[in-house]
Structure 1
Amino acid sequence: MSMTSLAAADPAFLDDVTPLSAACAHGDAPALFAELDRRMHRSLGHLLCTVNQLDAGALRLHRLYSSNPEAYPPGGSKAKAGTDWGRHVLLEQRVFVGEGEAAIAQSFDDHAAIVALGLRSVINVPVVLAGDCLGTVNFLMADARVTDAKIEAARWAALLALPGFVLAARARVH
């Protein structure tokens, strides 16, 4: 799906770039992620969006953003060293699509919590800059199946989330 196709599927997607550019200008990574979550919801219909920053040395993800902070609060973390998912997404930098409860159970330690929220599929997209995985953008949906169009839309969201990862890294340094 091209950006033009995404805009055709959801004409409002490209409307008013002001919230995205303002979040970048003000160094507000959570606002950028929240705006991407809101815009992508119209295309994906997801029930949960999370954004995780990678500690590459420990192969550990730290949650920067969650659309459901009660269930998945920002600041939470997950170890991914030695997991098939970690190898696939973080090391090989490939999109992971999990369809159905069995795929979720096979890939995530917190699968019971995911399923309890009514989530039956997931798209995890690595955010990569100059060959380095910075983290992931994740969309979880109620439908057990994921279309190719939704995967491409999620890939666009991860690309548009890139400034938020740069902002989060800068905030850590200061």
Structure 2
Amino acid sequence: MKVSDMTQDDINAALAAFDTSIAEQTTPESSWTALQDLSRKLIGAKLFTIMTVDMKNEVARREYTSDAENYPVSGTKPIRYDRWFDIVHKQRQSFVANTISEIATVFPDYETIKSLGCGSVINIPVVIAGQLLGTVNCLDVEHHYDSQKIVLSQHLAIPAKLAFLAASR
């Protein structure tokens, strides 16, 4: 089934599968894997990563990746104050870019993104108790995150919060 052909029953089944997976998780990695599986079912993602933020120290850290070779879980990188920051951190809205040229305006690693066959991105902020904990990052081919997938991505908000909490316990 294509992501664009999802029915409400398909969405409910994907959410139920996530619920079962997260209930059985025993490691942070399994929480992220459950969220990755749900994201791929609902909106698609060739590349899936989780970033956490530490605003006190103004750094972000990749906590999980579906491609450890090209996007390893590693140290921290400084927070950049730009258009992406305004949308995700200040407005607490998802950032969407559907071409590699749009991506290049905010991500310095756009050439690596392009080399992986990705040309669109949706970064979903995860906010709990008024604090931005991080983002769920899904990347796919150019023009992938159309209006229908953006609407479907709203189904990831509560599961993402749950995955962040489960991974931190």
For the criterion TM > 0.5, the same-fold answer is yes
In the other structure, the counterpart of 1:150 is 149
What SS class does the counterpart of residue 125 from structure 2 fall into? strand
Which range is displaced more, 38-47 or 125-134?
Answer: 38-47
- 2: distance between equivalents of 1:147 and 1:51? 21
- For the residue of structure 1 that corresponds to 2:105, the secondary structure is helix
**1:121 is aligned with what amino acid?**
S
Residue-pair matches, total: 163
Give the aligned partner of residue 105 of structure 1.
104
**Alpha-carbon displacement from aligned partner over 1:54-90 (angstroms, at most 9, x marks no partner):** 1112332111111111111123433223222122212
**How far apart, CA to CA, are the structure 2 residues paired with 1:9 and 1:76?**
37
Residues 79-98 of structure 1 correspond to what in structure 2 (within 5 A)? 79-98=78-97
RMSD between aligned residues: 2.1
**Segment of structure 1 superposing worse, 108-117 or 81-90:** 81-90
Q: What's the counterpart of residue 20 of structure 1? A: 22
TM-score by length of 2: 0.84
Asked whether the equivalents of residues 125 and 135 of structure 2 are also in contact (C-alpha less than 8 Å), the reply is yes
Alignment of 1:132-171 (within 5 A): 132-170=131-169
Is the Cα contact below 8 Å between 1:61 and 1:78 reproduced in 2?
yes
- One-letter code of the match for 2:122? I
What's 2:3 paired with?
Answer: none
TM-score of the superposed pair, with normalisation by structure 1: 0.82
Q: Measured at CA, do residues 59 and 6 of structure 1 come closer, stay the same or move farther in structure 2, by a change above 3 Å?
A: farther
8 A contact 2:100–2:142 mirrored in 1: no
Aligned partners of 2:126 and 2:136 also within 8 Å? yes
Is there any run of 5+ residues in structure 1 with no aligned partner, and where? none
Q: Percent identity?
A: 30
Rounded to whole Å, the distance in 2 between the matches of 1:67 and 1:113 is 14
Tell me the distance in 1 between the aligned counterparts of 2:141 and 2:53.
26
CA contact (8 A) 1:51 1:66 kept: yes
1:126-137 correspondence runs (5 A): 126-137=125-136
Partner of 1:123: 122
